[in-house]
A and B are shown apart, each in its own frame.
Chain A
Amino acid sequence: MMKEYFEELENGLQTAIDNNQGSIRMLYSLEIARLGKRLYSGEDKVAWCGIIAPFDLLSALDVTSCFVEFIGAMMAATNVAGDLIEETNHIGYSSDSCSYHRAVMGATMKELMPKPELLIGTTCPCSGGLAVIENLAAHFEKSFYLLQIPQDQAPKNVRYLADQMREMVSFVTKITGIPMDTEKVKFAMETSNKIREVLIEIFNLAKQVPSPVTGKDLSNFGIVMALFSGTESGLALAEAFRDELKQRSQNLTASGSNEKFRLLWIQNRIQFKNPIEKLLEDQYGAKIVIDELNDVTWGAVDPDDPYEGLASRAISIPFNGPAQNRVQHLQRLAEEYQVHGAINPCNWGCRQGTGSRGLIEASLKEIGVPVLNLEVDCIDHKKFTEGQFRTRVEAFMEMMDS
């Protein structure tokens, strides 16, 4: 079922793009459809992973890898997550946990998760995500390797993680039977470095006032681009975004903009269809110009000896380490992007999203940025009450407008 879904999606998008009706967002969806198709093809060697696994390295090892939460988000986008989440009630999976993970467990029970060849867990960003990887390993009776992400960039910490990544390579090649090709790894790292440069350009363009992005353009962008890192198609996608935004930026200078408010979105977007971006833009001239995870927090990786660089990249993710890291990162983004306000969905069950809510709100307030804390389940559309949601958003925007 999922394989057909992704195939149809790919065909539909490709046709539209071929007919010159494609937007950059369509190109992005096309890449997602292709990844989905590979995951469900039954032909690729699939690895289910934690969110900050080194996807470029895995792809150089001929493994199609993906973080499990991606499936939760896909299920939400197609409005089936709610039913899958309900399914987990039957096995006693508490509703107090993150719905990304419950949706994944529900999909596993319904045999909608392709059987992986192996699994790579990561201790960051959350205890729940790691637990799901362990559960999937037990369910599919497949081996898993755990990457433990230390709290800061102390040299001993970087070494610890780099050594784990080296060992991970042996683990993967032993399971797949495909030896590591150093040239392939080198190429993947060089490509990741190029993508990194393009991402910086994209984010710099988004910073402009007025911004050439719409509220939807870069939704989930940073976190999903990690899945395409190290690949030529990922680089082409990033370049397409950059070129389009450059073009728009030139046009904007000429035509002006109706951008009135600039907003920062904290953590992940709401993954099912919802009216937020449209409501903000149409009614208030407010635009989400920056998402917390749309940033480059790491340096280039040495293509000839990538492990330390990859380790440092994983450690640099703002969700890692003390909340103070996240807070400082958000303050910096708020200032660089000159935002007027921030929205925190506080995904129910996420100890990252809700856990640091108070600290984030206080620190952004300190620099004059008000925060709207929502209480949404970003995956389960059945829990979404549009009326209440609208009222909260409207009250916030009116407060900013006054």
Chain B
Amino acid sequence: MEQKKLIGYACAYTPLALIHAAGFTPYRILPDKDCPDQAGLILHDNLCPHVKRILDRAMDNQLPDLDGMVFMNSCDSMRRLADAWQQARPDIKMTLVDLPITSSDRDCAFFQGELQELSSTLEEWKGETLTPERLTGSIQIYNSLAENLEKLNTELQRGSTYNGAGLLQSTCLKASCTAPEEMVAEVESLIGSAGEEQQKDNSVPIYLFGNVLPDAEAFKMFAECGAGIVRDDLCTGSRLFAEVATRAEGLDDLLLDYAAGILNRQPCARTIVEAQPGKLAKDVIAGAKQYQVKGVIGYSLKFCDPYIARLPGIRAALKAEGIPFLMLEGDCTNRSIGQQKTRIEAFIEMLR
């Protein structure tokens, strides 16, 4: 397959299908490389480690050849990363796409305009002109990928595969940096074979939510501790790929459908439903109940304001429901999650 040009991105709300339709492969810059800590020269230590490690990668030239970088205006830290990027890597073009926090009709229309602007920017970056056919095609490919990942998830939930969550996670991570056409087939081949191992798995079913955990080792450790993650809600996990329903045919309406699809997908803490303040806590409870778990593990990076502010509410709501909860905090290093092994083990023991 011909190697497409790459566009970097860093947030689960990025319109991947639009970038793909412009003739690029979206490539997620994960905060998972071991780079010297240089971001502190530009960003303060109390910024989220997700953005600092991405900046470390950029400053250490640990990036593939990128034709540009698309940032989403998802939180303060992301904005600061976009600012810092211009100083650290002026050689890589970047753009910041505004991202509404709610999803009213007006917000969707506004976001449609942002997507329109992004497509012009991508065109300037030597991308293809956006046509309804191209966009529809790309949305369909990503929908197939999302569908396959969901099927794989369902299969893994049966618990017949040891560390199924780890397999799903590494697949999602690979998909976040790979052309979707390749991944659709790859995930399809995994679906059939996932249950074959038939290894005895007596793990405790757990619902995992949080932000950025791009670390396969962490999932291995969860499995070793006896935590069977039956569903994740992470921005480096299942939240990145979700089906988007589009009905329209003209480009404007198609973009509007796509904008609405992105704004209405499973939300992270930066997204709000005005009519239901504190909804994130309700979502976590609904997830825990739907997947009939015995406990919930939350994972958040330090200094993440959207999660920091919602965690007390989530904690209280889970307590009120009698659902056991363990909160972990990390900094995008294996070390930080490794240090919490004893706590995870104790939590799982308590649930058995």
Contacts and interface: CB of A to CB of B under 8 A. Distances in A.
Nearest to A91: B312
Interface string A317-329: 0000011100000
Interface in A137-195: 137-138, 143-146, 148, 150-151, 156-157, 160, 163-164, 167
Contacts of A387: none
Given A97-B308, A358-B44, A323 B76 contact: no
B294 to A, nearest CB: 21
A160 B86 CA distance: 27
Given A164-B106, A351-B80, A358-B42, A128 B101 contact: no
Given A148-B107, A322-B96, A351-B80, A132 B46 contact: no
Contacts of A137: 277-278
B220 interface: no
Contacts of B327: 92
B309 A144 contact: no
Q: Which of A128, A148, A157 has the most CB of B within 10 A?
A: A148
Contacts of B76: 126-128, 351-352, 355
B101 A148 contact: yes
Given A91-B315, A94-B308, A146-B102, A355 B43 contact: yes
B102 A349 contact: no
A150 to B, nearest CB: 6
Nearest to A358: B42
A127 B329 CA distance: 19
Contacts of A151: 73, 96, 98
Contacts of A145: 274
A246 interface: no
B101 A123 contact: yes
A132 B110 CA distance: 25
A96 B46 contact: yes
A5 B8 CA distance: 55
A93 interface: yes
B288 to A, nearest CB: 18
Given A91-B315, A146-B101, A324-B83, A354 B305 contact: no
B302 interface: yes
A348 interface: yes
Contacts of B73: 151
Interface in B63-104: 73, 75-77, 79-80, 82-84, 86-87, 96, 98, 100-102
A248 interface: no
A130 interface: yes
A94 B110 CA distance: 34
Interface in B247-288: 269-270, 272, 274-275, 277-278
B308 A323 contact: no
A134 interface: yes
A346 interface: yes
Interface in A342-378: 346, 348-349, 351-352, 354-359, 362
Interface string B23-55: 000000000000000000111101100000000
Interface string A280-299: 00000000000000000000
B234 interface: no
B113 interface: yes
A67 B65 CA distance: 45
A144 B275 CA distance: 8
A143 B303 CA distance: 28
Interface string A77-117: 00000000000100111101110010001000000000000
Contacts of B79: 322-323, 355
A132 B100 CA distance: 18
Contacts of A208: none
B102 A148 contact: yes
A274 interface: no
B245 interface: no
Contact of A96 (B87, B278, B306, B308): B308
B196 to A, nearest CB: 42
B87 A359 contact: yes
B185 interface: no
Contacts of B106: 160, 163-164, 167
A311 to B, nearest CB: 13
A378 B302 CA distance: 21
A131 interface: yes
B163 to A, nearest CB: 29
A131 B279 CA distance: 12
Interface of B: 41-44, 46-47, 73, 75-77, 79-80, 82-84, 86-87, 96, 98, 100-102, 106-107, 110, 113, 269-270, 272, 274-275, 277-278, 302-303, 305-306, 308-313, 315-316, 327, 329
17 contacts: A94-B308, A96-B302, A127-B270, A131-B269, A134-B278, A135-B312, A138-B277, A146-B102, A151-B98, A164-B106, A167-B106, A323-B83, A324-B83, A351-B77, A354-B44, A355-B80, A359-B42
Given A96-B302, A143-B275, A356-B83, 8 more contacts: A92-B312, A94-B329, A148-B100, A160-B110, A346-B44, A351-B305, A357-B43, A358-B44
Interface of A: 88, 91-94, 96-98, 101, 105, 121, 123, 126-128, 130-132, 134-135, 137-138, 143-146, 148, 150-151, 156-157, 160, 163-164, 167, 322-324, 346, 348-349, 351-352, 354-359, 362
